Amino acid sequence: MNSVGKKLLLSIALPTLALTLVALGFLWLRTAAAMAEATHDEALRLAELQQSVAGNFLQALVIVLLFAVVLVGATAVSLRIFISNPLQKLTMAMKRAEEGDFVVRADETGNDELARLSQAFNRMLGRITSLKVEEIDNRRDLDEAREELEVTHQLAGRLKELSILYDVARTVTSSIELNEVLQKITDTVPARLGVPKFSIMLITDGALEIRMAHPGGGEGMTFAIGEGVCGHAAATRKSVYVADLESDQQFFRVRGGFGARGRGSLLSLPMLHGEEVLGVLNFERPEKAGFSAAEIEFFTAVADQAAMAVKNARLHEQTVELSITDPLTGVSNRRHLFAQLELEIARANRFGTQLSFLMIDIDYFKKLNDAAGHTAGDTVLRQVCDLMQSSVRRVDTLARYGGEEFVVLLPQVTRAEALEVAEKLRRLVEEAPLEHREAQPDGKITISVGVANLPIDAVEQGQLVDCADSALYASKRSGRNKVTTYAQGMEVHPGRERGPHAQKKRITGEIPVVALKG
């Protein structure tokens, strides 16, 4: 009995039926009381009347029941039309509204209480709809504001990254000397990127070598390509990230220094220039999972900048080396020789030290070329050059002067000491089992050496070179495979072209070696 219509129907029908039955019962009781008080004759008449009334009572009862049924039916139809259906429609509208359909509206037909209730409900829905629209608009505005704020944060982060990247690029490209570039990278990158431990490794002789590290330690340590985290990064040409060094089992290798097991996280990024792997940058933080995906991407851009700076520095080194190096023998060429000679003379004059100059010529080199060919001659030149290079100091300068002639510049070396060096070089070449020596006299390849000293024999560059050349000519003239120190008057020997003009051409290489040489 959940329907309001049914409840109303019962509330109308039941009282009506009860009232009718009470009235009939009252009439029946009144008739019975009158019969009890009447006389015999009256009783007989009342009995007859009672029988008549009983019959009529039954008829009335039937009529009352029929009336009650008709009344209930009519009431039910009326309630259904005027109450139940409108209430059901209103209920369905409310249910849809409850489910979130705020566009639905209740039927407002009529002007009774239900119609006014529907109108009130519709107004409430309208207000809720407006509020919902405002909520949606506010939420959309909030989402847009949140997105704009997020974009702003992202832009701020990108601007910061670009600023850091610009600073790093500007700093590391401010020099073209490789060591300076490496130092600038080591000084700048850890500070700007917030990395407490950093190292830069370059591929040298097929292995990774730690060239510089922050805060220091491990320089000079080498790793094979494919060894450890850094070696794997170089081998795969991809970044390698170990989020927890303490638990890592794939790359761990005890080396007693950089790369040994520690705590924290390690990121190794290869420095790539095209298809070439130049080296690896290592970033380390003390906390686990210390690098985010965004940071790894950004650090990769930093590694690209570092790779470009290192490549430019190496290209500069190669360019300088090509400009000052003899392509056949790999030692200094004439241009670098005279630049170095000028510096050493200025230094010797400034500090009052001596400077010795050796001029060396391979004996009978033309005969070797004629007998064994120019390829053999080139081989001998390289071998003789390698022997002498291995026997002089790092501060000394060995240069190819031209053809088969070499020069050794000996800073802070006296005449006597220079004579010993020259004799050592002569014996070294004579005793060496050089190729193609069978094509030479006595089956040996030998050299002749002339020695001059500043300030004893000369006081300026051209004069020093000419004195050494005069001494070399004297060695050749006296039988070759000898060392001769300059003596006054050697430069004016009839067999030598001499004078200021000849001396200038001799220094610049515009005239050939004198006939006795070779």
Please list the active-site residues: 404
* Beta strands across the sheet bearing 197-204: 222-224, 207-214, 197-204, 276-285, 265-273, 240-242
- Judged by phi (left if over 0) then psi (alpha if -120 to 50, else beta), residue 355 lies in beta
Q: What is the residue-wise DSSP string for 224-282?
A: ETTSHHHHHHHHHTS-EEES-TTT--SS----SSTTS--SSEEEEEEEEETTEEEEEEE
Residue 365 in tokens: 């080199």
Closest CA to 357 of 452, 244, 495, 230: 452
With a CB cutoff of 8 Å and minimum separation 6, the contacts of 206 are 225
The 10 Å Cβ neighbour count of residue 133 is: 11
Please tell me whether the peptide bond between 441 and the residue prior to it is cis, using omega within 30 degrees of 0.
no
Residue 468: in which H helix or E strand, if any?
helix 461-477
Q: Comparing C-alpha atoms, which of 155, 146, 151, 175 is closest to residue 317?
A: 175
CA distance 378 to 393: 24
DSSP string, 284-324: EESSTT---HHHHHHHHHHHHHHHHHHHHHHHHHHHHHHHH
Strand, coil or helix: 345 = helix
**Interhelix angle for 178-193 vs 293-324, to 10°?**
170
Is residue 162 within 8 Å of 180, Cβ to Cβ? no
Q: Say if CB 513 and CB 473 are below 8 A apart.
A: no
